[in-house]
Chain A
Amino acid sequence: GQQLNQSPQSMFIQEGEDVSMNCTSSSIFNTWLWYKQDPGEGPVLLIALYKAGELTSNGRLTAQFGITRKDSFLNISASIPSDVGIYFCAGPTSGTYKYIFGTGTRLKVLA
């Protein structure tokens, strides 16, 4: 079945650094959703992408819909301690409204 792989699996960064992570699929997606999840809470939607090549920002976050439609990227600029958490990508499997999630990128920020 379709799978979403996220890279890196986890990362430690210094406060103030920029962060990049990606999400890749074995098949084409028409929508990419990026979420952040804190421990014991549900995922919170950060950015939604709907078109190949689309670049969308939300504050210090910027996400891009890959032109092959098999990948997406999330960048966080000037990281701060509250950026700590797990970041997930998600998208609907082809021909359905069943959204699957990636494996997650765990971000830890060193103050």
Chain B
Amino acid sequence: DTGVSQNPRHKITKRGQNVTFRCDPISEHNRLYWYRQTLGQGPEFLTYFQNEAQLEKSRLLSDRFSAERPKGSFSTLEIQRTEQGDSAMYLCASSLMGQINEKLFFGSGTQLSVL
């Protein structure tokens, strides 16, 4: 069990560029979550998947953000036309659906800096 893996760990980009992050959940986990965290704040929910279906999206997820989980395994989060306000840590978590006692396990995150 290798845990939740996120790539890249760090991304520096110029305003207006597109970026894509990848998350590989724990292998048998069928729920996958994306969160955003800015300095000094708790993680804020963005969206979650149950298998390949995206079941809920936050209002924080503007039209420039899109998340996919095409085969119910890994997921990608793309930000188009990045803005300086997108600078944050993007966290991915996974859990096992169907367990009565659900637990979310997080990856190490992708730190995005938009210049």
A97 adjacent to B43 (CB under 8 Å): no
Interface size on B, residues (CB 8 A): 27
Among candidates B33, B42, B93, B102, residue contacting A103 with C-beta atoms closer than 8 Å: B42
Chain A positions within 8 Å of B93 at CB level: 42, 99
**Complex: A92 Cα to B101 Cα, angstroms:** 12
Main secondary structure of the interface of B (DSSP, over half): strand
Per-residue contact bits, chain A 18-33, to B (CB 8 Å; 1 contact, 0 not): 0000000000000101
Chain A positions within 8 Å of B61 at CB level: none
A99 adjacent to B42 (CB under 8 Å): no
Chain B positions within 8 Å of A82 at CB level: none
Q: How far is the CB of A69 from chain B (nearest CB, A)?
A: 16
B100 adjacent to A98 (CB under 8 Å): no
Chain A positions within 8 Å of B105 at CB level: 45
Chain A positions within 8 Å of B31 at CB level: 97
